[in-house]
Copies of this chain bind each other. A is one copy, B any other.
């Protein structure tokens, strides 16, 4: 069976795009990925498009806009893991021997869909009793502080780190570094989380071109990055969660990915994780086994997760700094991992990384372990 490689990557600026839409943003990202790969667009054999709220046949609209016709394309939705799921499905299509060159696009024009905040599905039993995303993550933060002695200041260091990284990312939604004081004084959302602890409402798109061995040899020009694992899992159906401070779903998905890639967490040089809230970054890196449970906040304080640290986390700025256009997010994470592995990201470059991980999770059907989680491992 063939290995899978990422050969071309592209993404739009993340932020508010009042004069654009999800189709235009997706087309921009796709055209950049094609140019980055240096391929004739006609060698693309199939496509997947991840988005949440953009309506029927969004991916087909994107292909039409760039003049690509006749390909198999499926739109995929897995809440905040939609873009990552598009990459997973693209990699499956290659491993099935079905195609040699497949694009995965993730796009979302969130500001077209919402005035204000993301509202949960009215049929969600937790949301119906007020357990919205911010309130659930606030409870998890509070519980984590109780169990592991994390201070409010330690938690604030996560948005400080991520927005400092974002300030060095020309495509990020937020380009201004902030201080712990800024976090603590920002508007309360759900105690203890303030505005700077929450990811913003962002428009944006990203695209990656994945290839088989054979195609990567032909088109990769030595720049191909191996997608060593692309794992997807749905959560448990526990109504009462077994833990508020540890994520079995993230751990199980990661275990599958590590096994496929033939590596362990000790081999990971850096990661992009789903920091939809400041506390979420803690839960994710610990769920991935990259830091021991209860120890991440102190590690952040010691600078270990900084770009020049032992294990940089969210060098792109993450969801908190780069922004969070649902469908775009998972693809943009892989764009960042690839660019870091290629050494192309200027003053936020990590020194000589070999293994990068991207992690997404989103949605919830029942309980905090509901919905979809993805872990992708890329190796130079």
Contacts and interface: CB of A to CB of B under 8 A. Distances in A.
Interface of A: 1, 21, 23, 47, 52, 55-57, 60-61, 63-64, 67-79, 85, 88-89, 92-93, 95-98, 121, 123, 231-237, 252, 362-366, 370-372
A111 B71 CA distance: 32
B364 A234 contact: no
A55 B79 CA distance: 9
A21 B194 CA distance: 36
Given A52-B56, A70-B233, 12 more contacts: A1-B96, A56-B121, A56-B363, A57-B77, A57-B370, A60-B235, A60-B370, A70-B235, A72-B233, A75-B76, A95-B98, A96-B98
Count of identical protomers in the assembly: 2
Contacts of A93: 92, 96
A235 B69 contact: yes
Contact of A71 (B57, B77, B233): B233
A31 B78 CA distance: 22
Contacts of A89: 74, 89, 92
Nearest to A374: B72
A340 to B, nearest CB: 26
A241 to B, nearest CB: 13
Most chain B CB within a 10 A radius of its CB, from A21, A61, A364: A61
A41 to B, nearest CB: 13
A68 to B, nearest CB: 8
A323 to B, nearest CB: 19
Contact of A234 (B21, B60, B362, B363): B60
Contact of A77 (B69, B75, B88, B365): B75
A233 B78 CA distance: 22
Nearest to A2: B96
A74 B232 CA distance: 9
Contacts of A47: 234
28 contacts: A55-B123, A56-B77, A56-B363, A57-B78, A57-B363, A57-B365, A57-B372, A60-B363, A61-B366, A64-B365, A64-B370, A69-B236, A70-B233, A70-B234, A70-B235, A72-B231, A73-B78, A73-B232, A74-B78, A74-B85, A74-B89, A74-B232, A76-B76, A76-B77, A89-B89, A92-B96, A95-B97, A96-B96
